[in-house]
Chains A and B, each alone.
Chain A
Amino acid sequence: MKLERLWGSSPFKSHYDAVMIGGGIHGLATAYFLAKEHGMKNVAVIERRYVGFGGSGRNTAIVRANQRSQGNVRLYDEGLKLWATLIRDLDFNMMFYNCGNLNTFHSEAAQGAARLAVSTAQMCGVKSELLDRKQCKELIPVLNVEDNIKYPVMGGMYHPPGGIVRHDAVAWGLAKGAARHGVHIHQNTEVTGMDIEKGKIVGIRTDRGSIKSPRVLVCAGGWGALLAQMAGIALPLHPLTIQAMVTQPLKPVLHHVISSGAYHVYANQTLKGEIATGAHMDPWPNYTTNTTPHYFKHQGEALVELLPFLRGVKFMRHWAGIADMTPDMAPIMHGNDPVEGLYLDVGWGYFGFKSGPITGKYMAEYMANAKRPEILSPFSLRRFEEFRPTGETAGAFSYGPWN
């Protein structure tokens, strides 16, 4: 059998109708939808390293739609529903496993926040419910709900439609689909500058030559702030390293995504059997992807308290990515301001994976019509100077036993 490449190489042209800076899920999805639904056939994706090098291939693959604010839930809910359609349209198995998410709380403050999040979800028509301690144990028998740990489980927020999606497959499937619709994917190409004339973007410069384009999208994940700086735009972003690791493979034992704000831990068992677990962010800015023993220790301590069967199990691999955090933990999707033709899709923090394809769909609409789709209205860059944050930071993860 002759194996075919998922996408071929394309000639490096000097003019494109639209250019995406960043060959991750967001850029590939936007290019895919521009080509497929808006008839834009002269589109390029510029990637400094390789497709899926950044956050797209470094996240813990969790998808869910139980955020705190309505604007977010609406977008992520559509995002959850899009996976099935996307998998069919791309004819690429992304291994979507909607096993459901349980987010435990360990204090009355967090319980109150969870109750508000559940109400928001239910108002938006998203399945989400509060479970007490006993129900948590019934749902996940391996969960420790006893009082013998630092932060005993009080209950949880159960969100059945969430789950995990194979993140590499998403990046590769979108790249394949975009290329099939004529999108040029240029890997190993670094953007070094932007050309702006009279307040309009006219092109970008790369280490392989200049490209003229009237539409440029910054969708470079953790490196978004550096690219916006090339256009003279300051953003309210902190690039923070966030670490993750997997254990050795085990028999199927954990059938849901489990997360805890108080312990700063989230975990799921992959279809290979490994327990994939992520930590909190290093709280100082870095454009690095280094891991530290601090978090191996932290993850180990948190996991054996919540999931005691993991005691003695070994971590096999560890890695890190960059989360570009905004002050209100909600993304920025903004265009034509202050530079006409320049679009921003940044500030996703650690929410970039679950939102990738749906954001691509709406950013494509935004770029094709030069008009912000209604669903993206909460995510303007101008909300910060209006001091109208989205309210996302009031989520249950912000409240611990210390509140």
Chain B
Amino acid sequence: MSYTITCPICGKRDLYEFRFGNEEQGPAPDQEGLTPRAYSDAVQMHKAVGGPQKEWWYHRDGCGVWFTVWRNTLTGRETNESGDIS
């Protein structure tokens, strides 16, 4: 069974060519009045979604671009935003 994701430059490639760069976490928290707990929540606590999630990837063994894709963590397959296989 092999897995792929789609690099915006190189197209559909083997997943093992890529490095995972964490789930999309939104903008960094505002530094003003930032508590250790809020900072920890932002950088350490994961949504660990069971289903489609938006995540960052780096094409390590390819063109070196950073990009986001939607992937379903219950199937390991790339999807679109609504969870259908793209």
Contacts and interface: CB of A to CB of B under 8 A. Distances in A.
B2 interface: yes
A284 interface: yes
Contacts of B50: 223, 226, 287
A386 interface: yes
B2 A290 contact: no
A294 B46 contact: no
Contacts of B40: 384-385, 387
Given A284-B20, A286-B73, A292 B48 contact: no
Given A286-B76, A288-B74, A288-B76, A235 B1 contact: no
Given A292-B1, A292-B3, A387-B36, A238 B44 contact: no
Given A286-B73, A288-B74, A290-B76, A234 B41 contact: yes
B1 A236 contact: no
A237 interface: yes
Interface string A232-246: 001111110100000
Contacts of B19: 283
Contact of B46 (A237, A287, A290, A385): A237
A216 B74 CA distance: 25
B48 A237 contact: yes
Interface in B13-52: 15-16, 19-20, 23, 36-37, 40-41, 44-48, 50
A290 B50 CA distance: 16
A283 B56 CA distance: 13
A235 B46 contact: yes
Q: Which of B40, B48, B74 has the most CB of A within 10 A?
A: B48
Contact of B48 (A235, A290, A327, A384): A235
A241 B19 CA distance: 15
Given A284-B20, A293-B2, A235 B45 contact: yes
B69 to A, nearest CB: 11
A242 to B, nearest CB: 14
Nearest to A238: B46
A225 interface: yes
Given A234-B47, A288-B75, 12 more contacts: A223-B50, A234-B45, A234-B46, A235-B48, A236-B44, A238-B48, A239-B48, A284-B55, A285-B23, A286-B73, A293-B2, A386-B36
20 contacts: A225-B46, A225-B48, A226-B48, A236-B45, A237-B46, A238-B48, A283-B19, A284-B20, A285-B23, A286-B73, A287-B74, A288-B74, A288-B76, A291-B1, A292-B2, A292-B16, A293-B1, A385-B37, A385-B44, A387-B40
5 nearest CB pairs, A to B: A284-B20, A225-B48, A385-B40, A234-B45, A236-B44
Interface of A: 223, 225-226, 229, 234-239, 241, 283-288, 290-294, 327, 384-387
